[in-house]
């Protein structure tokens, strides 16, 4: 039945509505037992029903209903990708995919944040003519706004991606999407496929991010079958960032801040400066770099400095 019809029924008979909801949850529990869904999915569906009824002033015995809910895990079982897997992804990705992958693993941003980025949210941080890192403002203009950083490798990939778009006729402004819908300049095919699709650029969305990686991971053999949950998902890039950053010696609380997480009561009292966050981030920049070229150049530089000290 429609939501309005269900609300009308619930107002007439609260007990009848409770019985319907309990039957629904029982059916979802059967799907859980067969492995079709997770326990958290059952609870999330119930939240929407409860909100609908509460907004329409319908009171039910939710304590009784919650008793039949399965206990949900507080964390997912997916893992972070390995550096070898990320290298494989970057090797086969297009110019947009390379920039997107490097941005996600070096900053820990959520896939849902991608569509909100404008070009002016990204800036390069240079010192004495050398690229140190990138600065990225996440959810700019929103109460959830926060700051994070990008590795030099990610900055170079983003710069190359923006240059590619400019070379193929797009007029990049500070308000242009940082990551746009896919287009094929050779075939003349543009994202949303409408007549004005060449001139009206729309941002890459969270569903298109997931779709892009689903196809890419299948094409290189990391995924071999279709299913709801995989060994690692796009969210695994975020886990990769946190793991590498903390292993590199960054303060865990600074890692949480750069990921846009709440740090409890410290939200009100712990206020590091942007410079302090950057200096801590630079400790992890090398560990968040995938290209072997940078690692080799750093090793050569260290050997050169050691040889100068020995002279």
DSSP designation for 174 = T
pLDDT band at 300 (very low <50, low <70, confident <90, very high): low
User: Is residue 115 within 8 Å of 206, Cβ to Cβ?
Assistant: yes
> What is the per-residue pLDDT across 153-163, written as a single tens digit (0 to 9) for each?
999 999 999 99
Q: At what angle do helices 83-92 and 95-107 cross, to 10 degrees?
A: 150
Residue that wins the pLDDT comparison between 179 and 82: 179
The enclosing H or E element of 3 equals helix 3-12
For residues 169 and 198, is the Cβ–Cβ distance under 8 A? Answer: yes
Average pLDDT over residues 295-309: 58
Q: What is the pLDDT of residues 2-19, one digit of tens each?
A: 999 999 999 999 898 899
How many other C-beta atoms lie within 10 A of the C-beta of residue 203?
17
How many Cβ atoms sit within 10 Å of the Cβ of residue 276? 12
User: Which residues is 180 bridged to in the sheet?
Assistant: 203
Axis crossing angle, helix 95-107 with helix 235-247, rounded to the nearest 10: 50
Contact 14, 65 (CB under 8 A): no
Nearest-angstrom CA–CA distance, 116 and 114 = 6
Q: In the sheet where 130-138 sits, what is the strand order?
A: 122-127, 130-138, 146-150
Q: What is the pLDDT of residues 182-226, one digit of tens each?
A: 877 766 666 655 666 667 788 999 999 988 988 888 887 766 565
**Which domains does the chain possess?**
3-66 (no CATH), 83-303 (1.10.443.10)
What is the band of 295 on the pLDDT scale with cuts at 50, 70, 90?
A: low
Distance CA 4, CA 33 (A): 31
pLDDT band of residue 83 (cuts 50, 70, 90) is: confident
On whether the CB atoms of residues 110 and 260 are closer than 8 A, the answer is yes
Structure tokens at 182: 């896919």
- Is residue 65's pLDDT more than 90? no
The residue among 35 and 257 whose pLDDT is bigger is 257
pLDDT of residue 235: 85
CA dihedral 278, 283, 289, 293 (to 10 degrees): 110
- Provide DSSP, 113-155: GGGG-BGGGEEEEEETTEEEEEEEEESTTSTT-EEEEE-HHHH
Cα–Cα distance for residue pair 200/211, rounded to 1 Å: 22
Each residue's pLDDT tens digit, 244-266: 999 999 999 999 999 999 888 88
Does residue 29 contact residue 68 with C-beta atoms inside 8 Å?
yes
Q: 120 pLDDT exceeds 70?
A: yes
Name the strand (E) or helix (H) holding 245. Answer: helix 235-247
Residue 210 or 291, more confident = 210
Query: Helices 39-55 and 3-12: crossing angle, nearest 10°?
Result: 70
């Amino acid at each position: 039945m429609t939501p309005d019809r269900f609300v009308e029924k619930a107002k007439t008979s609260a007990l009848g509505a409770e019985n319907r909801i309990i039957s629904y949850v029982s059916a979802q529990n059967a799907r859980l037992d067969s492995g079709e869904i997770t326990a958290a999915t059952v609870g999330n569906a119930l939240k929407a029903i409860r909100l609908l009824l509460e907004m329409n002033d319908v009171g039910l015995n939710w304590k009784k209903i919650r008793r039949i809910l399965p206990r949900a895990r507080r964390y997912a079982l997916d893992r972070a990708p390995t550096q070898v897997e990320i290298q494989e992804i970057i090797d086969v990705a297009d110019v947009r995919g390379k920039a997107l992958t490097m941005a996600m693993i070096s900053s820990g941003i959520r896939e849902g944040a991608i569509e909100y980025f404008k070009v002016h949210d990204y800036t390069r941080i240079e010192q004495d003519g050398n690229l140190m890192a990138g600065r990225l403002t996440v959810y700019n203009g929103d109460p959830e706004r926060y700051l994070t950083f990008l590795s030099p490798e990610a900055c170079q990939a983003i710069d190359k991606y923006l240059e590619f778009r400019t070379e193929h006729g797009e007029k990049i402004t500070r308000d242009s999407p940082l990551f746009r819908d896919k287009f094929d300049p050779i075939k003349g095919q543009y994202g949303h496929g409408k007549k004005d699709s060449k001139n009206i650029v729309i941002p890459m969305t969270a569903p298109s991010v997931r779709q892009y990686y689903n196809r890419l991971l299948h094409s290189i053999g990391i995924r071999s079958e279709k299913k709801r949950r995989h060994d690692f998902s796009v969210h695994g890039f975020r886990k990769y960032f946190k793991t590498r950053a903390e292993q590199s010696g960054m303060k865990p609380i600074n890692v949480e801040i750069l990921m846009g997480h709440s740090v409890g009561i410290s939200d009100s009292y712990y206020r590091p400066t942007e410079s302090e966050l950057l200096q801590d981030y630079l400790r992890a920049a090398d560990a968040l770099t995938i290209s072997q070229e940078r690692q080799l150049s750093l090793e050569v530089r260290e050997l050169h400095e050691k040889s100068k000290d020995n002279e």
